[in-house]
Structure 1
Amino acid sequence: MNTLSTYTLPSEPSSRFKAGSIGEKNQQKVLEAALTVFSRKGFSGARIDEIAKAAGMSKTNMLYYFKTKKELYQFVIVRVLRRWLGSLGDLHSQDQPIDVITEYITNKMQLSQQYPEASRLIAMEIMAGAPVIGNFLQTELHTWVKQKGHVFLQWQREGLMAQIEPAHVFFMIWALTQTYADFESQISAVVKPNDYDSEIYPPATHYAIEVLVRGLNLKSRL
């Protein structure tokens, strides 16, 4: 099968430390701490010494791994975006639309469940006007949506998918799947689950698939 979508994911900044080394482990600690702090306070509100404290190291030691707050922020953002874009995988016009969209929704819901702070970080960045990733949105993401959308348009020509502009299909999927991470406090207040992950995500995934598969009028290829 010929792949119609050839977009290459943005490269994640490479680590200068050997896998499994103390340096690599400390770098991961910094990244995890940074994700937590950035997701709560955004880029402008986060402080280097606060991130260092969350990582369990001194500010001087932390700056050995990442020289500036912006470098650290960009590294975290790229990792999140790679997970999100990679969750769709390769698309082929010969694929079953229902299977592709069902798997994509499931993957995006799993990412929201496993990395809720990452989802909130992206939401905060975009609501602030995307000061750091604006160029990515206008170039790489624009290209990704356009190229992946070629397959959607082919499905629409074959009568396998509703005539909806591909970009809006992505907006709907992103909005529905990410809301369970971004608005966890609101959902928890309304539903009052004893355990958010086990009580909210399984049925929410099922509902999201039901709504979107029906709304997009997806049909199986014979």
Structure 2
Amino acid sequence: MDSPTDAPRSKKPSRIQTRNRKRILEAALDVFSVEGYRGATLDQIAQAAGLSKPNILYYFDGKEAIHVTLLNRTMETWLEPLRRLDPEGEPLDELLRYIRRKMEMSHAFPRESRLFANEILQGAPRMRPHLEDGLKPLVDEKAALIARWVADGRLAPVEPRHLIMSIWATTQHYADFEAQIAVLMPEGNVREEALTHVETMFRKLLTPASG
């Protein structure tokens, strides 16, 4: 087990420091996604990481600092596909590509999705500034883009913000309610079936009426 040293932290972390920080964040993600913020403890995170509690506190100031780091990382990853909506692209193709990417992320990052959902259910006490300063301007920008596509007749009439939230709700359901899905759909290729269903549903919603 590695122990912290008395030397001041360098600007560039060592390989051991980088490894231990990643190890802590991975362990904390497991703990937070199951226990939530209130139920999680530093002792649980230390045990999951295979490090001592003082070692954890060498890298992070406390439980909240670890939680906020994970939330910020999740937000950056989660919002990247929305940022990529191309104003010059074909609207339906752009939105379906976004939906497919969100479905892929729900499959690849279920712990991150549950971490974020737990934070929002608690009233976003640690993420509200990020929601106001980072998420809202991005959603405003993309909602205006979708509204322009609708006004130009390139998409069927939809309310842009409700469309975005519907995409989030539908795609992230497969991460947040993974245990329920396993009971209700124990057989078949749920991932591919879900992708086909969700894509077909939004394609029908967004395709302009011919003529």
Q: TM-score, normalised by structure 1?
A: 0.84
CA distance in 2, matches of 1:29, 1:109: 26
State the one-letter code of the partner of 2:197. Answer: Y
The corresponding residue for 1:209 is: 199
Alpha-carbon distance change, 103 to 94 in structure 1, aligned in 2, over 3 angstroms = same
- Match runs of 1:49-64 below 5 Å: 49-64=43-58
CA distance in 2, matches of 1:209, 1:217: 12
TM-superposed deviation, 1:99? 1.5
> Would the aligned equivalents of 2:21 and 2:59 in 1 still touch at CA under 8 Å?
yes
Pick from 176, 183, 200: which aligns with 1:189? 183
The corresponding residue for 1:12 is: none
- Match runs of 1:1-222 below 5 Å: 17-18=12-13, 21-193=15-187, 199-217=189-207
Alpha-carbon distance change, 78 to 218 in structure 1, aligned in 2, over 3 angstroms = farther
What secondary structure does 2:118 align onto? helix
TM-superposed deviation, 1:170? 0.8
> Would the aligned equivalents of 1:145 and 1:166 in 2 still touch at CA under 8 Å?
no
Identity of aligned residues (%): 37
Alpha-carbon distance change, 126 to 169 in structure 1, aligned in 2, over 3 angstroms = same
> Would the aligned equivalents of 1:98 and 1:213 in 2 still touch at CA under 8 Å?
yes
Q: Which runs of 5+ in 1 are unaligned?
A: 1-14
> Would the aligned equivalents of 1:92 and 1:151 in 2 still touch at CA under 8 Å?
no
State the one-letter code of the partner of 1:60. Answer: P
> Would the aligned equivalents of 1:119 and 1:182 in 2 still touch at CA under 8 Å?
yes
State the one-letter code of the partner of 1:101. Answer: L
What secondary structure does 1:67 align onto? coil
CA distance in 2, matches of 1:141, 1:218: 28
What secondary structure does 1:193 align onto? coil
Q: What's the CA shift string for 1:6-40, capped at 9, x where partnerless?
A: xxxxxxxxx95447x11101111111111111111
Instruction: Work out the number of aligned pairs and report it.
Output: 200
State the one-letter code of the partner of 1:175. Answer: A
CA distance in 2, matches of 1:175, 1:90: 19
State the one-letter code of the partner of 1:202. Answer: E
CA distance in 2, matches of 1:53, 1:46: 12
CA distance in 2, matches of 1:16, 1:191: 50
CA distance in 2, matches of 1:208, 1:89: 21
CA distance in 2, matches of 1:125, 1:109: 21
Q: Whose Rg is larger?
A: 2
What secondary structure does 2:82 align onto? coil
CA distance in 2, matches of 1:208, 1:214: 10
Q: What's the CA shift string for 1:104-129, capped at 9, x where partnerless?
A: 11111111111101111111111111
> Would the aligned equivalents of 2:102 and 2:171 in 1 still touch at CA under 8 Å?
yes
TM-superposed deviation, 1:41? 1.3
